[in-house]
Structure 1
């Protein structure tokens, strides 16, 4: 359906693609992977025709419809979320708009003389609308929005009043409702809670068109894609299988290439030694010449390109007392909305609690109560002896000084640390080379979040309270964070929609439901096994 043939592309001074080729065939579900800045978004833009390759071509079969979701959702206001979603449904939305105009014209007294023509046209347009299944469209739009966790109230409210994350969901819903022949989804799993993520996973598994997507959620990717296209130093490499298969295959390929390289180097060293030893002897001149020629003709094996794998050993956290958090008989409401009625919850040293619950169940509120950024209406929240808390929330980025560079801000935060460990820390969280000279004010939301987390973990507290810590992390940085936190000796209380993160780090689960609060010994994987569901809002 889509062919990428020998494309080369340069962005400013950066070569993104060099004679790269790949294909997206009917019904294929492909994960597009590569480090940040490798050219994933540029590739999407070349497929949609928003950008052109410098050389080569990207061709799409005739009459193939493409739906492209990216993080830049543009302006949305003045319409309900449902209307905004239906607007993206292709030809049917144009027909619906004409129907609305004709309905208005039929009740306009100034147009009585045109009424016969209007009524005739209305009949034609209505027939076309029925043919396109237009009357079922609104129901389908509401179904998709409900799957992405919208309440009826939000569906009918002005889309302009929604936050950026919810507008992203509206933009995603437009593409899903459109059901094009090809979906290009750039990070569709960002900004989704666990229930929406699992709903989207099922939707995409059952979608019969072709799919090309990026995602920083390995579990999500593993369950949907059956092929991986990797952008690696300008090439497009295809692997048949899911993300886990690709990781294993890539490691095997690198190992194989390394041993080929080492064998060839050993052979070359031997030949060069012979040439050096006998080049001055006339009796060996013919042999030396023949070996020199042979060396010139050999195809040199390159060593595998070393990926920048980041690893960081966090300093050990100071020991806290055994009772870390004690919540007694806490009541909390926002207006008429009751969040907790008599919540009791105790956290002991070295426990790692993940908090589960649908949107609005009070997950973030619980973290805010523990962090002291909100107070209970009744009851008490006590933090234990010698507890040093680190709290990562979405607004944590407010602590950054916009005029400082990344490195300056880290140096101000840790005046005794010295540049070398701070540069290493910055590198772990995706600020390599000149990135440390960026001013904090020009950083994206994701970069700010990574910087704040880096600082928090450099001087680790013995209690980490984390609200969606992986939202803006790519797969490699997330993997580094999981490794580092696995070795962390302190106590953790966290909310995350990343199942890999939940499974790797939790050893207790607190589930907030309308029927009350449930506690589970054992981590997220045991919770799934015991309840038969991956999130509280799903009932299998």
Structure 2
């Protein structure tokens, strides 16, 4: 369906692709993976024709419709969310627009003379609209938006009032409603809560077209894709299996290549040693010449390309008291909406609470109450003895000084720290070498999140309060953070939509539902086993 044939592409001074080949076949669901900057978005743009390869070609079968979702959603306003989604549904949306114009014309007294022609045209357009399934279109658009957690009020409101994250969902819904032959999704799991993510999983699994997508959510990839295409070092390598299979196979390939490389190096060293030893002896001249020729003909095995991954280790945090945070009879409301009415919770040392609940259930509000950035209307929130808190929220990223470089932001937070340790920390969080000289104002959302996280963790707190800490983080940074937090000896209270993160780190679950607040001993995996659902909003 779509083939990359020996493509070469240079981006700036970097070669992104060098005679690389791969294919997306009908009905395949493929995950596109690779380090940041490897060329994933460039590959999408070459399929859509926004960019062309320097050499080679991208071959696409005739009449194949392509839908492309990316993070740049552009301006949206002046229409309802439903209308905006329906507008992306391909030919039927054009027919719907003409139908609306004709309906307006039939009500216009100034066009009475044209009425016969307008009515005749209306009949033709209406028949075409019906043939294309137009009358089911609005119902389908609402179904998709509901799956992405839109309320009826949000669906019918002006899309212009929505936040950037909700506009992303509208843009994604447009592509899903379109149901093209090939769907290109660049990070569709960003900005989605866990309920929407699981709904999207089911939608994509039942989608009968071809799918090529990137995602920083390994669980999402594992459940949706059956093939991985990896971009690394200019080449495209295909693996038949999900992301977990790809990781195992890649590690095995590296191990085999390393063993092959070491065997060849040992053989070469032995041959070179013989040549050096006997090159001056006439009696061994023929043997030496033979071995020199043999070495010239040997195809050299390259060592495996190892991605640079830097581990981050917490310095030991000071020990806190046994009761880290105690909430008693907490009441909190926003206007007429009650979030908490007489809520009690005790968080003890080394507990790791993950907070589950649908949008608006009060997850972020709870974290703000504990962090002290908002106060309860009634009741008390007491932080225990010797507790040193680190609070990560999306709002924290807005507090960065745009004029500072990454290094200056870290230096401002820790003026007494030595430069070497700050640079090492920056490297752990994805700012190696000259990247520390980037100005904060030009950083992406993911880079800002990494910087805020690095500053928070440098002088480790013993109580971490984290609101969606994995938003914007790529797979490698997520894995580094997860490994570091797994070894962390402090206490945690966190919200996340990443099920891999939830399962690996939590040992307590707080579930916020309209029926009440439930506390579970045991982590997210036990919660799923006990309740039979992966999130509160998925109850049958």
TM-score, scaled relative to structure 1:
0.99
* Distance in structure 1 (CA, Å) of the matches to 2:152 and 2:342: 29
* Distance in structure 1 (CA, Å) of the matches to 2:161 and 2:482: 36
Alignment partner, residue 414 of structure 1: 414
Tell me by how many angstroms 1:403 deviates.
1.7
Give deviations 1:43-63, integer Å, cap 9, x for gaps: 000000000000000011011
Alignment partner, residue 119 of structure 1: 119
* Distance in structure 2 (CA, Å) of the matches to 1:330 and 1:6: 63
Give deviations 1:145-184, integer Å, cap 9, x for gaps: 0000000000000000000000000000000000000000
Give 1:478-493 correspondences, 5 Å limit: 478-493=478-493
* Distance in structure 2 (CA, Å) of the matches to 1:264 and 1:429: 36
Give deviations 1:7-54, integer Å, cap 9, x for gaps: 000011111000000000000000000000000000000000000000
The alignment partner of 2:538 has SS state of coil
Alignment partner, residue 530 of structure 2: 530
The alignment partner of 2:464 has SS state of strand
The alignment partner of 1:53 has SS state of coil
Give 1:263-342 correspondences, 5 Å limit: 263-342=263-342
The alignment partner of 1:184 has SS state of strand
* Distance in structure 1 (CA, Å) of the matches to 2:400 and 2:128: 56
Alignment partner, residue 393 of structure 1: 393
Alignment partner, residue 215 of structure 1: 215
Indicate whether 1:438 and 2:429 are aligned: no
Alignment partner, residue 144 of structure 1: 144
* Distance in structure 1 (CA, Å) of the matches to 2:491 and 2:241: 37
Give deviations 1:204-246, integer Å, cap 9, x for gaps: 0000000000000000000000000000100000000000000
* Distance in structure 2 (CA, Å) of the matches to 1:460 and 1:322: 18
* Distance in structure 1 (CA, Å) of the matches to 2:133 and 2:180: 15
TM-score, scaled relative to structure 2:
0.99
* Distance in structure 2 (CA, Å) of the matches to 1:496 and 1:262: 43
Q: Identify unmatched segments of 5+ residues in structure 2.
A: none
Tell me by how many angstroms 1:512 deviates.
0.3
Give 1:181-192 correspondences, 5 Å limit: 181-192=181-192
* Distance in structure 2 (CA, Å) of the matches to 1:298 and 1:220: 44
- Contact 1:310-1:477 within 8 A present in 2 as well: no
Give deviations 1:334-364, integer Å, cap 9, x for gaps: 0111101110111000000000000000000
Alignment partner, residue 168 of structure 2: 168
* Distance in structure 2 (CA, Å) of the matches to 1:64 and 1:174: 18
Tell me by how many angstroms 1:309 deviates.
1.4
Alignment partner, residue 101 of structure 1: 101
* Distance in structure 1 (CA, Å) of the matches to 2:377 and 2:404: 39
Give 1:467-486 correspondences, 5 Å limit: 467-486=467-486
The alignment partner of 1:412 has SS state of helix
* Distance in structure 2 (CA, Å) of the matches to 1:202 and 1:502: 20
* Distance in structure 2 (CA, Å) of the matches to 1:305 and 1:384: 48
Q: Identify unmatched segments of 5+ residues in structure 1.
A: none
Alignment partner, residue 512 of structure 1: 512
Give 1:3-402 correspondences, 5 Å limit: 3-402=3-402
* Distance in structure 2 (CA, Å) of the matches to 1:107 and 1:413: 66
Tell me by how many angstroms 1:312 deviates.
1.2
Alignment partner, residue 498 of structure 2: 498
The alignment partner of 2:237 has SS state of strand
Alignment partner, residue 539 of structure 2: 539
Q: Where does structure 1 differ by over 6 angstroms across 4 or more consecutive aligned residues?
A: none
* Distance in structure 2 (CA, Å) of the matches to 1:537 and 1:64: 37
- Count of paired positions: 540
* Distance in structure 2 (CA, Å) of the matches to 1:82 and 1:397: 31
* Distance in structure 2 (CA, Å) of the matches to 1:404 and 1:160: 32
Give deviations 1:427-486, integer Å, cap 9, x for gaps: 111111211110111112221111000111111101000000000110011000010001
The alignment partner of 1:537 has SS state of helix
Tell me by how many angstroms 1:398 deviates.
3.0
Tell me by how many angstroms 1:423 deviates.
1.4
Tell me by how many angstroms 1:417 deviates.
2.3
The alignment partner of 1:333 has SS state of strand
Tell me by how many angstroms 1:401 deviates.
2.0
Tell me by how many angstroms 1:399 deviates.
3.0
* Distance in structure 2 (CA, Å) of the matches to 1:236 and 1:39: 10
* Distance in structure 2 (CA, Å) of the matches to 1:129 and 1:2: 30
* Distance in structure 2 (CA, Å) of the matches to 1:116 and 1:398: 59
The alignment partner of 1:32 has SS state of strand
Give deviations 1:102-149, integer Å, cap 9, x for gaps: 001111111111111100000000000000110110000000000000
Tell me by how many angstroms 1:368 deviates.
0.4
Tell me by how many angstroms 1:265 deviates.
0.4
* Distance in structure 2 (CA, Å) of the matches to 1:192 and 1:511: 18
Give deviations 1:414-434, integer Å, cap 9, x for gaps: 223212221121111111121
